[in-house]
Amino acid sequence: MTSADAPGPLGSGTPVLAFDVGGTDTKSALIGADGRVLGLRRTPTPLDPADPAGAVVTSIGALTRLHLDETPGVAPVAVGVSVPGLVDEVSGVGIFASNLGWRDAPIRALTEAATGLPVAFGHDVRAAGDAEHRLGAARGYGDVVVLAIGTGIASSLILGGHPYAGGGYAGEFGHSLADPLGEPCACGAIGCLETIASAGAITRRYRQASGNPVTGAKDVLDAAGTGDPVARRVWNDAVESLAQALARVVANLAPEAIIIGGGLAQSGPALFDPLGERLDALLSFHRRPALVHAELGDDAGLLGTALAARDLAAARAAEAAQ
């Protein structure tokens, strides 16, 4: 992530420990006082249907000891934990996570007990959005939407300069209605954007329509480039649905910029050019947002989680000083 000599992306601050818990892997690292990311590791996230939150927190406890043993010179003063799903950052509760299996899990309290440190608990996509806003492509914008388009589609909203969570339920751009006559979505609704425009949907839809067993959206884009009409239709449907959904967000929220990350963003101009063109055509007097490639890549979630832990440490220090 950073070379041994490079100053860290986070800048100087208190040392913290950060965990970005995903449905498959958990990323973790110590962040030094100089902002360097130390001992970055990726560990399978344990799945225990009988005690899903307990299993994840036990793993966080074991990883904490491992990081501290490995890097004895760094003493973190707070821990950051981000998880997917519906997250109530105020109460510290994981409301729901379909891939991890918990409901109303008091992750913050459990992690505080397991680590003996104050815990900043948050949502993985909002953490990534916060990192892009403070360190990456969304820097300098007050009103900005940060999209992650991969297997699914998620978004993080920064409005009036501040992250907006809607009680943990906001930013479900992937589960906004794209086609009322479309396919059932895994979430239980019909025709969600995610069923047409995610990298996962592009792959699946092309496979179904062509019988061609491609392994990713990149293969579909390549096929479209060679003139494959099915691939072109699937790709164009995804771009058009994204443009329509973004046009609606623009009408309602008028972001100055839309930051696009995740696997599909790696398509570069093949995505950004037609998307920008179609979005432009769908708008009239609306404020036109810049479409910008995300900067921080896969580590945005971990960096945002570390930022939240540092914020918590600073708040605690300020309280203690009073």
Three-state DSSP at 76 gives coil
Least CB distance from residue 193 to its own copies, whole Å? 9
| Site map 217..246 versus its own copies, x via CB under 8 A | ---------------------------xx-
Beta carbon nearer to its own copies, 1 or 247: 247
- Contact with its own copies (CB under 8 A): which of 66, 109, 230, 282? 282
Stretch that binds its own copies, among 60-68, 155-163, 225-233, 258-266 (CB under 8 A): 155-163
Determine if 254 is a binding residue for its own copies (CB under 8 A): yes
- Contact with its own copies (CB under 8 A): which of 67, 108, 126, 175? 175
Q: How many CB atoms lie within 10 A of CB 9?
A: 18
Do the Cβ atoms of 320 and 23 come closer than 8 Å? no
- Contact with its own copies (CB under 8 A): which of 114, 119, 157, 259? 157
- Tell me which residue of 250, 262, 278 sits closest to 147, measured CA to CA: 262
Q: Within 68-97, which residues bind its own copies (CB under 8 A)?
A: 86, 96
What does the alpha-carbon distance between residue 123 and residue 301 come to, in Å, rounded to a whole number? 9
Please identify which residue in the block is written with the tokens 């981000």.
82
Least CB distance from residue 143 to its own copies, whole Å? 5
Determine if 252 is a binding residue for its own copies (CB under 8 A): yes
Residue 297 DSSP symbol: G
Beta carbon nearer to its own copies, 226 or 284: 284
Q: How many CB atoms lie within 10 A of CB 41?
A: 13
What does the alpha-carbon distance between residue 191 and residue 20 come to, in Å, rounded to a whole number? 30
Least CB distance from residue 301 to its own copies, whole Å? 20
Determine if 103 is a binding residue for its own copies (CB under 8 A): no
What does the alpha-carbon distance between residue 181 and residue 184 come to, in Å, rounded to a whole number? 9
Stretch that binds its own copies, among 29-37, 67-75, 230-238, 279-287 (CB under 8 A): 279-287
Least CB distance from residue 168 to its own copies, whole Å? 8
Report which residue type is found at 145.
Answer: V
What does the alpha-carbon distance between residue 304 and residue 298 come to, in Å, rounded to a whole number? 11
User: In what helix (H) or strand (E) does residue 25 lie, and over which residues does it extend?
Assistant: strand 25-31
Extract the runs of DSSP E, i.e. beta strands, from 127-167: 144-149, 153-159, 162-164
Least CB distance from residue 199 to its own copies, whole Å? 19
| Site map 44..73 versus its own copies, x via CB under 8 A | ------------------------------
- Contact with its own copies (CB under 8 A): which of 6, 41, 44, 169? 169
Q: Which residues contact 177 (CB under 8 A, 6 or more apart)?
A: 189, 190, 191, 192, 193
- Contact with its own copies (CB under 8 A): which of 25, 229, 287, 315? 287
Residue 96 DSSP symbol: E
- Contact with its own copies (CB under 8 A): which of 34, 48, 51, 143? 143
Beta carbon nearer to its own copies, 137 or 243: 243
Report which residue type is found at 86.
Answer: L
Question: Residue 192, Cα to own-chain centre: how many angstroms?
Answer: 18
Binding stretches for its own copies (CB under 8 A):
86, 96, 143, 155, 157, 159-160, 162, 164, 166-173, 175-177, 180, 185, 187-190, 244-245, 247-249, 251-256, 282-287
